[in-house]
């Protein structure tokens, strides 16, 4: 009982909500880069929060159902077809054993999430099924999907056909503003350097992945070249010797020795992960109090979003 992988795409990874509490032994979080799209996928399918889904980067995935179930695809706008028929995103869809499921390449955005009713049944490693390829942990043997892999999932014969109305879909832009909480190393960057950082746009380089997004733009100088390696939070913005910022994401290393000008809030790193190389990033400072308010407001707004039901 599974979905069989015919074509795995460029980078497709099984992810649950992430591996927590393991930094002390050097294991990073993993988990979905766009938590909003991931959570909507499970909510639409009426799965328990954090159920394992497939994160598809860029698209190009072809699966074949070997079980009767329901699927939902959220996130980046990549054409979805079942048995050659174009199907909507952000909606629960029935699939029968033998049907083909194809996700073409993304037209807008970068990451999409394909979930099944009940979630993929992947045994946890250190408390999570999240795949971190660098650590060879989680998912299927700690690796991205390959042709011939099978994604185990239960048979489900009944689910409500829930969908999120189109006008409420997130809009994935090619230009975003990332809000940054200044860090305790901020004083190592002069007022001129801070002004330069917050007043110029940066371009997403082609060296961006789940570990971090490298940006290109005005170089930022720091009065120290390095620090004693220390723990790194998600969203930390490192400034290496070349002065080009790196926004660290879910698969970041757990410690690092570059100075950090601040940390991007999680709401905005999710939007950052939907940018492809060439996208534009602006930074704006925000206080810890403002960041907490933004997070609570976004969480409250998402919970209040009504899901509609498609009647037969």
Whether residues 85 and 214 fall in one domain = no
Q: What is the pLDDT of residue 145?
A: 97
- Dihedral sign for Cα atoms in the order 245, 276, 58, 299: positive
End residue of a domain, out of 162, 185, 213? 162
Whether residues 227 and 279 fall in one domain = yes
- Which two three-digit tokens encode residue 49? 């929060």
Whether residues 29 and 114 fall in one domain = yes
Whether 148 maps to a domain, the answer reads: yes
Whether 167 maps to a domain, the answer reads: no
Whether 244 maps to a domain, the answer reads: yes
- Flag whether pLDDT at 227 surpasses 90: no
Whether residues 135 and 275 fall in one domain = no
Secondary structure element (H or E) that encloses residue 45, with its range? helix 35-45
Q: What is the DSSP string of 55-92?
A: EEES--EEEEESS-EEEEEEEEE--EEETTEEE-SSB-
- Which residues, at least 6 apart from 182, have a Cβ–Cβ distance to it below 8 Å? 194, 261, 262, 285
Whether 58 maps to a domain, the answer reads: yes
Whether 306 maps to a domain, the answer reads: no
Whether 29 maps to a domain, the answer reads: yes
- Flag whether pLDDT at 139 surpasses 80: yes
Whether residues 14 and 142 fall in one domain = yes
- Residue 183 belongs to a domain with what CATH number? 2.40.100.10
Whether residues 188 and 151 fall in one domain = no
- Flag whether pLDDT at 262 surpasses 80: yes
End residue of a domain, out of 115, 130, 162? 162
pTM here is 0.95
Q: What is the pLDDT of residue 225?
A: 76
Whether 125 maps to a domain, the answer reads: yes
* Of 143-147, 166-170, 277-281, the least confident: 166-170
End residue of a domain, out of 117, 141, 162? 162
Structural domain boundaries enclosing 224: 175-301
Whether residues 261 and 130 fall in one domain = no
Q: What is the pLDDT of residue 184?
A: 87
Whether 307 maps to a domain, the answer reads: no
Q: At what angle do helices 35-45 and 288-304 cross, to 10 degrees?
A: 20
pLDDT digits (tens, 9 = 90+) for 40-96: 999 999 999 999 999 999 999 999 999 999 999 999 999 999 999 999 999 999 999
- Which residues, at least 6 apart from 9, have a Cβ–Cβ distance to it below 8 Å? 56, 57, 58, 59, 60, 61, 103, 145
- Flag whether pLDDT at 229 surpasses 90: no
Count up the domains in the chain and report the number: 2
Whether residues 46 and 148 fall in one domain = yes
Average pLDDT over residues 174-179: 97
């Amino acid at each position: 009982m599974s979905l069989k992988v015919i074509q795995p795409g460029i980078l497709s990874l099984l992810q649950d909500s992430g591996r927590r509490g393991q930094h002390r032994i050097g294991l990073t979080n993993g988990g979905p880069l766009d938590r909003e799209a991931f959570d909507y996928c499970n909510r639409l399918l009426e799965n328990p929060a954090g159920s394992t889904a497939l994160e598809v980067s860029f698209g190009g995935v072809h699966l074949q159902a070997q079980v009767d179930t329901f699927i939902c695809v959220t996130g980046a706008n990549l054409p979805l077809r079942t048995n050659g028929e174009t199907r909507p995103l952000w909606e629960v869809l029935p699939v029968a054993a033998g049907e083909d499921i194809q996700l073409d390449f993304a037209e807008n955005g970068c990451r999409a999430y394909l979930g099944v009713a009940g979630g993929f049944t992947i045994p946890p490693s250190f408390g999570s099924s999240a795949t971190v390829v660098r650590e060879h942990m989680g998912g299927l043997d700690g690796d991205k999907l390959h042709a011939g892999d099978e994604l185990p999932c239960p048979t489900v014969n009944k689910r409500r056909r829930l969908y999120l109305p189109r006008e409420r879909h997130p809009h994935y832009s090619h230009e975003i503003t990332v809000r940054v909480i200044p860090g305790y190393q901020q004083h190592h960057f002069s007022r001129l350097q801070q002004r330069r950082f917050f007043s110029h746009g940066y371009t997403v380089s082609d060296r961006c992945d789940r570990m971090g997004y490298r940006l290109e733009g005005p170089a930022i100088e720091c009065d120290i070249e390095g620090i004693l390696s220390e723990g790194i939070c998600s969203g930390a913005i490192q400034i290496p010797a070349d002065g080009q910022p790196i926004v660290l994401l879910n698969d970041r290393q757990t410690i690092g020795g570059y100075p950090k000008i601040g940390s991007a809030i999680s709401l905005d790193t999710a939007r950052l992960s939907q940018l492809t190389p060439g996208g534009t990033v602006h930074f704006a400072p925000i206080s810890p109090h403002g960041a907490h308010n933004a997070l609570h407001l976004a969480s409250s707004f998402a919970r209040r979003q009504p899901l509609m039901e498609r009647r037969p």
